[in-house]
Structure 1
Amino acid sequence: MSGLWHSLSAGAQDALVLAAILAPALLLGWMICRGLLVGPLVRSLLRRYRWTNLAFVLLVALSVALGVGLIAQERGLRQASARVAEKFDLIVAAPGDEVSMLMATVYLQAVDAPLLDGATWQALTEAAGDRATLTPIAYGDSWQGHPIVGSTADFVAHLSGLLAEGAIFGTPDEAVIGARVPLAVGGEVEPAHGHGALAEDHAHEGVHLHVTGRMAPTGSPWDDAIIQPVEGVWLTHGLGNGHDDIESQRIGPPFDAEHFPGSPAVLVTTPDLPTAYGLQSQFTTRDTMAFFPGAVLSRLHGLMGNMREIMSVMSLGTQALVAAAVMAGLIVLSQLFERRLALLRALGAPSRAVFAVVWSYAAVLLGAGSVLGLGLGFLAVRVLSGLLSARTGLLIRPMMGWSELHLVATYFTIALLFALVPAAIALTRPVAERLRR
C-alpha cells in the first residue's frame, strides 16, 4: 500500500487527502438528507433572517481568510526569496554572520562589512582557475535610497540577461540601472555615501555616474539598484582602480592583487558542484567565510516553516473557536424559528426531517462563509503581497494551493460536526410548549 501511495503524483496525493477530509461531511449530509426535501424550508429561513445570516457568513469568512492568507503569504515570500538566491552560487566574505552577509549581498540590505584583501583575491583566483567565475561585489553608496553596487559587466549579464534598453557600461563613471530605478538612460547620478537616513549627500561631490542602460526586471531588490564597474566604486573612495596601471580606464578582470583595494564579498559562479564545494571548504578559514546562500536561506525557511506550523495550528484553533461561536449563535438563532419547527413536528414530520432542516441551514451558512473566506483570503494576500513587494523589492506572486484547500476543507468538516449540536437541541424542545408561544 505504501508503494502504491508513493507511486501517485503529488497532485493525486493532495486530491485524495482533500477527499478524505471532505468525506465525513459529505457522507453525513447524504445520510441525514437522503429522501428529504428540506430545500424550500432552508431557503425560507435564509430569506427571513437574511441580515443575521449575513453576519454569521462574514464571521466565518473572516476566520477562514485569516488562515488561508497566512499560509499563502508565507509560501509566496519563501518562493520569491529563493528565486533571488538562485543567481548566487557561493559567496566568500570576511568571517562574520552568514545571515547578515546573505542579506547584504543578495538582498542589498545595508551592513558594515570588512573587506577581502588582494592576497585573498589572488588565492581565490588561483583556486578557481578556469572552473569558476569570480565577481567582486562592492557596496556602500546610494542615490535617493537606491543602493549603488560595484561589480562587473559579466555580473549584470548573469543577473538579468540582456538589457531592456541601452548598453552596458564601458568606463568607471558609467552605470546600469535596475528596472525600477526612476531614471532614464542618459541621466546622471551623484552618489551619496551610506544608505537611508545616514546617507551623506554630496560626500562625493564632483563624482557623477552616467546611466548607459537599464536591466531587465529580475523580481529582486536588484531592480532598485544602480550597478557600476567596481573600479568606479574604488576610484570614488580614492582607493585606486585595482589594476597595475593606475591611470587606466580599463574595467573588469583580471585585477592586480597588489593593487586590489578590497571587496566586502566575492561571488563565485560555477556550474560544477564539486568545484563549488571544494572552494567552500578551502575558504572556510580563520580569515575568510565561504557559504552557499541557498543553504543559509534553507535554514531561514526552516525557521519560517516552524513558525508557519505554529501559526497554522493557532489559526485552526481560532477557526474552531469561531465555529463554536457560530454553533452557539445558531442555537440562539434557532429559537427565532422554533415555532416553525414545532409546527412542522406537529404536522407529523419525522424528527430526522427537523434535524435535517436545522443542520442543512447551518451547513449552508458555514459553506458560504468558507467559500467567501477563500476568496477574501486570496484578495488579502494579493494586497499584502503588493505591499511586501514594494517594501522588500521581491516579486511575490500570491497563489492558492492544496494547503489552503486542505485548511478550508478541514475547517468546514469540523464546523459541520459542531452544527450537529443545535440540530440535536432543536429536537429536545417540547412541541406543545413551543406552539403556545
Structure 2
Amino acid sequence: MPAVWHDLSADAQDLAILAALLSPLLLLGWGICRGYALMPLLRSLFLRHLWTNLAFIALVAISVGLGVGLIAQERGLRTATARVAEKFDLVIAAPGDEIGMLMATVFLQPSDAPLLDGQMWQRVAEAAKGSARIAPLAYGDSWQGHTLIGSTAEFVTHLSGDLAEGTAFTAPSQAVVGAGVPLRVGQGFAPAHGSSPAAEADAHDDMTVRVVGRMRATGSPWDSAIILPVEGVWLAHGLGNGHADAEDPQVGPPFAPQYFPGTPAILVTTRDLPTAYALQSRFDGDDSMAFFPGAVLSRLHGLMGNLREIMSVMSVVTQVIVLAAVTTGLIVLSRLFSRRLALLQALGAPARMIFALIWSYAALLLGIGAVLGLAVAFGAVHLLSAMLSARTGLLIAADLGWAELHLVAACLALGLLVALIPALVALRRDVTEALRR
C-alpha cells in the first residue's frame, strides 16, 4: 500500500474506493456507447424531450444540493460556535442553568441572572491571584439593539487583541465598541435599560458614554457589542463604583468587597488546564456555579451530531424517493419512444444495444443531476451561511468537504444502479406490439 494512501482521511479513502468501483461501470457504459455508436441516438433522445429531461435533471440536482448543503452548513455552524468559545476558559456564575449562562456570556443572548456579590468576587480574586486573570461580565443594558457589557480593559485586550482604532477606556463614561457597531470613535450615546426595542424609550438620559476605541473583528456576537468599564454600568443604575471612595476615578480591579454591587458572571482566564480545573472544582458548589463553556458547547455539539446523523438519513431517504420518482418518469418517458426502439430491434439491433441505450440515457440524466447538485449545494451553503451570520453575529464559513463529496458520489452510484430499471423494462416490451402503435 503506498504511503500516500495512509495520509488520506477516512472519508477520502472511502471516496477513492467508491470511485474505483464506479470506474469500471462507467468505462463499460462508455465503451458500449462507442461500440454501438449510440452518441447520436443519445443526443436525439435528449433533445427530443429537452424540457422534460431538464426538469428531471433539475429535480435530482435540487434534491442532492439541498441535502448536501444542509449537512455542510451544520458543520460550519459547529466550527463557528467552537471558535467563539475559545476565548472563554472558565465562567463562574450563580447556581442555575449552564446552557443559559453560556448563551448569555458567550453569545450575548438576553438573560436575567442572579448576581454574584462582593464576597464571592473577593474569593475568586484571591484564588486566581498569580495564576489566572478574572474579569466581571455585567450585562442588561443596550443601545439600538447592541448589547452593553460592563467589564475591564484587560478583558477587551483578551477578546480582541490590539484595537483596530482608538485606545482602551480609562473612565466610567468611555467605551470600546465592536467592529460591527455603527458608532465612530469620539461619538457619544446614551445607554438604555434592557435589550428590547422598547428599551430605547427608557434611556439613561443623565449619562453619556463616549466611544474611545474599536475592537478588531472577532467573527462573533461580540462584534456587535459595546464594552465599557463595569463601573459605568453600576453608576448608570445608581449602585456606586465598586470602590471604597465613591469619587475614585479608577476603573478596574481591585474592587472593595463591601462596595461591590454584583455581577452576573466572572470570566476566568488561566494559563494551563490544571489551574482551570482546580478553580472549577473549587467554585462549582452550592453558592456558585463554575463551568467550562467549551465543555458545555461540546455537549450541545453532541446533540447536533445526533441531528447530523438524522439529517444525513433524511437526505439519503429524500434522494432515494427523488430517484424513484425520476426512474418512474423515465419509464413512462421511454414509452414515448418505444416505437423507435422497436424499429431498431426490427432492423437487427441486439437487445444489449437497446439495454445500453436506455441505461446510458437514464444514467446521463441522473449523473448530470448529481454533479449539478454540487453547484446547488455550493450556492445553498453560502446563502445559508450569509443568512445565519447576519442573524447570529457568528462568522460562519461553511464549505463542502469530503463527507459531502462522498454523499454525492454515493448518490451517483445509486443513480447508475437505478438507471438499470428503465433499461430492463424496455427489454420486456413486445417489439411487434410497439411497432403497431
TM value normalised by structure 2: 0.96
Cα gap change, 1:105 to 1:378, in 2 (>3 Å): same
Counterpart amino acid of residue 362 in structure 1: A
Structure 2 counterpart of 1:307 = 307
Q: 2: CA distance between counterparts of 1:96 and 1:5?
A: 52
Structure 1 counterpart of 2:6 = 8
Structure 2 counterpart of 1:210 = 210
Q: 1: CA distance between counterparts of 2:20 and 2:325?
A: 24
Whether 1:377 aligns to 2:374 is no
| Alignment size in residue pairs | 434
Deviations 1:84-142 (A, max 9, x none): 00000000000000000000000000000011111111111111121100010100000
Structure 1 counterpart of 2:429 = 429
Q: 1: CA distance between counterparts of 2:417 and 2:5?
A: 33
Cα gap change, 1:294 to 1:7, in 2 (>3 Å): farther
Q: 2: CA distance between counterparts of 1:373 and 1:196?
A: 42
Cα gap change, 1:5 to 1:102, in 2 (>3 Å): farther
The 5 Å alignment of 1:26-41 reads 26-35=23-32, 36=35, 37-41=37-41
Counterpart amino acid of residue 6 in structure 2: L
Q: 1: CA distance between counterparts of 2:5 and 2:334?
A: 49
Whether 1:112 aligns to 2:109 is no
Kept after mapping to 2: 8 A contact 1:67/1:407: no
* SS of alignment partner, residue 201 of structure 1: helix
Identity of aligned residues (%): 63
* SS of alignment partner, residue 341 of structure 1: helix
Moved more, 136-145 or 374-383: 374-383
Kept after mapping to 1: 8 A contact 2:144/2:197: no
The 5 Å alignment of 1:211-250 reads 211-250=211-250
Counterpart amino acid of residue 431 in structure 1: V
Deviation of the 1:6 alpha carbon: 12
Kept after mapping to 1: 8 A contact 2:80/2:394: yes
Structure 2 counterpart of 1:190 = 190
Structure 2 counterpart of 1:152 = 152
* SS of alignment partner, residue 399 of structure 1: coil
Kept after mapping to 2: 8 A contact 1:5/1:13: no
Q: 1: CA distance between counterparts of 2:147 and 2:268?
A: 21
The 5 Å alignment of 1:73-152 reads 73-152=73-152
Kept after mapping to 2: 8 A contact 1:140/1:147: yes
Kept after mapping to 2: 8 A contact 1:133/1:269: yes
The 5 Å alignment of 1:61-76 reads 61-76=61-76
Whether 1:285 aligns to 2:285 is yes
Kept after mapping to 2: 8 A contact 1:72/1:400: yes
Moved more, 287-296 or 153-162: 153-162
Deviation of the 1:244 alpha carbon: 1.8
Moved more, 234-243 or 147-156: 234-243
Kept after mapping to 1: 8 A contact 2:5/2:13: no
Deviations 1:170-202 (A, max 9, x none): 100000111111111111111110011452534
* SS of alignment partner, residue 92 of structure 1: strand
Q: 1: CA distance between counterparts of 2:369 and 2:244?
A: 71
Kept after mapping to 2: 8 A contact 1:77/1:396: yes
* SS of alignment partner, residue 343 of structure 1: helix
Deviation of the 1:209 alpha carbon: 0.4
Structure 1 counterpart of 2:390 = 390
Counterpart amino acid of residue 418 in structure 1: V
Deviation of the 1:44 alpha carbon: 1.7
Counterpart amino acid of residue 121 in structure 2: W
The 5 Å alignment of 1:157-196 reads 157-196=157-196
Kept after mapping to 2: 8 A contact 1:366/1:416: yes
Kept after mapping to 2: 8 A contact 1:32/1:352: no
Structure 1 counterpart of 2:331 = 331
Kept after mapping to 1: 8 A contact 2:144/2:200: no
Kept after mapping to 1: 8 A contact 2:143/2:200: no
5+ residue gaps, structure 1: none
Q: 2: CA distance between counterparts of 1:19 and 1:348?
A: 40
Kept after mapping to 1: 8 A contact 2:367/2:416: no
5+ residue gaps, structure 2: none
Counterpart amino acid of residue 10 in structure 2: Q
Q: 2: CA distance between counterparts of 1:106 and 1:327?
A: 50
Deviations 1:259-317 (A, max 9, x none): 21111000000121100000000001100000000000000011011011112101110
Kept after mapping to 1: 8 A contact 2:161/2:216: yes
Moved more, 187-196 or 26-35: 26-35
Counterpart amino acid of residue 15 in structure 2: L
Deviation of the 1:347 alpha carbon: 2.3
Kept after mapping to 2: 8 A contact 1:193/1:199: yes
Q: 2: CA distance between counterparts of 1:399 and 1:49?
A: 35
Counterpart amino acid of residue 264 in structure 2: P
Q: 1: CA distance between counterparts of 2:128 and 2:105?
A: 20
Kept after mapping to 1: 8 A contact 2:139/2:264: yes
RMSD between aligned alpha carbons? 1.7
